[in-house]
Amino acid sequence: MIILGLAAASAGAPLSVAAQPAAPDTGARRAARELADKGFEHYEAGDYAKAIPFLRDAEARFHAPTLLLMLGNAHVKLGKLVEAMVFYDRVASEQLASDAPTEFVNAQTEAKATLASLAPRIATLKIVLKGTTADKVRITIDDVEIPAANVLKPLAADPGTHKIVASIGGDDGGRAVFQSVTLKEGMTKQIQLVFRPGGPVTPPPAAGGCASCEIAAPRGDGEAKISGLAAVALGLVAALRRRRR
């Protein structure tokens, strides 16, 4: 069982749902404890995907930085570094009360350290469009739509293979371009998506530009880099959450 206010929140130790100075009602606290217990059991068993919904529901009933920290840890275990950054950033940026529980303070310290070590591992994807503009194209990455305002911005991405689909319709002919890209940790990769008027659906050619090429690995791990990645990650996760509704 997870004991409220007593246990540490780091991976490998029971999760604390310590009481804040202004504690919520007993019912919400009890429900959070039960959900957190189940989530921690799955986490300890290595079933991180099952742990996440329980931890998320527990945090929705009782806000605790320790729960957010464990959510971040579970996402890292699954290789979902971008979403993990969001949870760590929430913990690191929270203004704790002067009399906040020690567990909350320790969780924040750990989150800040993890952000610094995780940021260099995030990959970056840059999209270049040829034959269309960002306001006319719909782009999805792994079936998650990217807001038009973000299409041409550097996109934080998890290491691994991703499927990119860009499509235009209406007066532009209802065409699409598909591309698969594999990102390594810390890599910055640029892809070119080419729409030729009236042409068939084909992968973008390399001629006249980089169809898919590595640009560089990120340098440095300062606070500006961390906050920038977290901001991009927040945008991607928000898009994912909108899709799940």
First to last CA, the chain: 32
Which residue, 8, 112, 116, is CA-closest to 64?
A: 8
Structure-block tokens of residue 147: 């807001």
Give percent of the chain with pLDDT exceeding 70.
Answer: 68
Query: Do 207 and 243 belong to one domain?
Result: no
Report the DSSP pairing between strands 188-194 and 123-130. parallel
Indicate the pLDDT class of residue 243, thresholds 50, 70 and 90: very low
What is the DSSP code string of 161-174? EEEEEEEE-GGG-S
Q: What is the CATH number of the domain that holds 188?
A: 2.60.40
Cβ atoms of 112 and 141 closer than 8 Å: no
Entry pTM: 0.73
* Average pLDDT of the chain to the nearest whole number: 78
Indicate the pLDDT class of residue 30, thresholds 50, 70 and 90: confident
Query: Which residue would you say has higher pLDDT here, 174 or 34?
Result: 34
Q: What is the CATH number of the domain that holds 60?
A: 1.25.40.10
Which residue, 217, 24, 12, 42, is CA-closest to 123?
A: 217
Query: Do 18 and 58 belong to one domain?
Result: yes
Query: Do 106 and 210 belong to one domain?
Result: no
Amino acid of residue 89: D
Query: Do 112 and 151 belong to one domain?
Result: no
Whole-angstrom Cα distance, residue 191 to residue 71? 32
* 163 beta partners: 180
Query: Do 16 and 130 belong to one domain?
Result: no
In what helix (H) or strand (E) does residue 205 lie, and over which residues does it extend? none
CA contacts within 13 A on the Cβ side of 244? 6
Residue 27's φ and ψ, nearest 5 degrees, are -60, -45
CA distances from 133 to 82, 139, 172, 193 (A): 26, 11, 11, 11
Confidence at residue 234, expressed as pLDDT on a 0 to 100 scale: 52
Residue pLDDT, tens place only, 102-159 = 999 999 999 999 999 999 999 999 999 988 899 989 999 999 999 999 999 999 999 9
Query: Do 147 and 178 belong to one domain?
Result: yes
Query: Do 110 and 159 belong to one domain?
Result: no
Handedness of CA 236, 240, 242, 243 (dihedral sign): positive
Confidence at residue 233, expressed as pLDDT on a 0 to 100 scale: 56
Which residue, 155, 110, 78, 118, is CA-closest to 9?
A: 110
Q: With 80 as the cut, is the pLDDT of residue 22 above it?
A: no
Which residue, 178, 111, 119, is CA-closest to 143?
A: 178
Contacts of 160 (CB under 8 A, 6+ apart): 79, 182, 183
Structure-block tokens of residue 164: 């990119």
CA contacts within 13 A on the Cβ side of 126? 13
Query: Do 135 and 77 belong to one domain?
Result: no
Confidence at residue 235, expressed as pLDDT on a 0 to 100 scale: 55
The DSSP output letter for 25 is: -
Structure-block tokens of residue 150: 């973000």
Query: Do 62 and 131 belong to one domain?
Result: no
Number of structural domains found in the chain:
2
* 125 beta partners: 155, 189
Q: With 50 as the cut, is the pLDDT of residue 12 above it?
A: no
Residue 185 lies in domain: 123-217
